[in-house]
Structure 1
Amino acid sequence: MSLYPIFSIITVFLALAFVLLHLVAALSAILNGKKSLGTGFIIAGAIVSILALLLVMISRTLTIYIWIFGNSMICFGAVMNGKNKKKFNKSHHLIRFVIAMLITILLYVRLFLFQ
């Protein structure tokens, strides 16, 4: 049995979990009455990233560019929220950025090296 299907499932699961976690957190903040521009960026980035994951089977190049754009929006919105709330935790945002980069690298490997 090839490792490609297992690697693909794990990669897409991690990517989807990352996006859905941020989407749920942003929607929860809006439901609690904490509306901000950063929260809007997180929601828009999550929607764009989900669209990228839906395009995995159609186009390789477009998928990776849309994924990077969506993750950039998520990270930018989170940094904006941290700055606006005066609770900017640099290590938290660095960890989020590293996780997003690792998932992006895994997605790139899945899209371009295994096919």
Structure 2
Amino acid sequence: MSLYPIFSIITVFLALTFVLIHLVAALSAILNGKKSLGTGFIIAGAIVSILALLLVMVNRSLAFYLWLFGSSIICGGAILNGQNNKNFNKSHHLIRFVIDMLITILLYVWLFLFQ
């Protein structure tokens, strides 16, 4: 049995989990009345990233670039939220960035090296 389907499922699961966790957190913040520019960025980035994961079967390079754009917007929005709430925890944002980079590398390997 090839490892490609297993690698594909794990990669898409991690990417979708990353996006959905941030989308749920942003929607929860809006429902609690904490409307800010960072929250809007997180929602916009989550929508773009989900669109990227849906476009994988149509155009791999467009999907990858949309993922880069969407995940960057998510991380930028999270940093804005941390600065606006005066609760900026540098290690938290570095861990988020490292997780995002690992998922991006996994997506790159899945989309371009396993053809």
Deviation at 1:50, TM superposition (A): 0.1
Identity %: 83
Calculate the TM-score normalised by the size of structure 2: 0.99
Quick one: distance in 1 between partners of 2:55 and 2:101? 19
Q: How is 1:75-86 mapped onto 2 (pairs within 5 angstroms)?
A: 75-86=75-86
Q: What is the distance in 1 between the residues matched to 2:21 and 2:33?
A: 19
For 2:36 and 2:80, how far apart are their aligned partners in 1?
9
- 1:10 aligns with 10
Describe how 1:30-49 pairs up with structure 2 within 5 A.
Answer: 30-49=30-49
Moved over 4 A (4+): none
Which whole-Å CA distance do the structure 1 matches of 2:68 and 2:93 have between them? 16
Partner of 1:62: 62
Question: How many matched pairs?
Answer: 115
Tell me, in whole angstroms, the C-alpha distance in 2 between the residues paired with 1:55 and 1:18: 17
RMSD: 0.3
Structure 2 stretches of 5 or more lacking a match? none
TM-score, L = length of structure 1: 0.99
In the alignment, the residues of structure 2 paired with residue 102 and residue 62 of structure 1 have an alpha-carbon distance, to the nearest angstrom, of 19
1:34 is displaced (CA, Å) by 0.3
Per-residue deviation, residues 49-93 of structure 1 (Å, max 9, x unmatched): 000000111111101100000000000000000001111000000
| Matched position secondary structure for 1:86 | coil
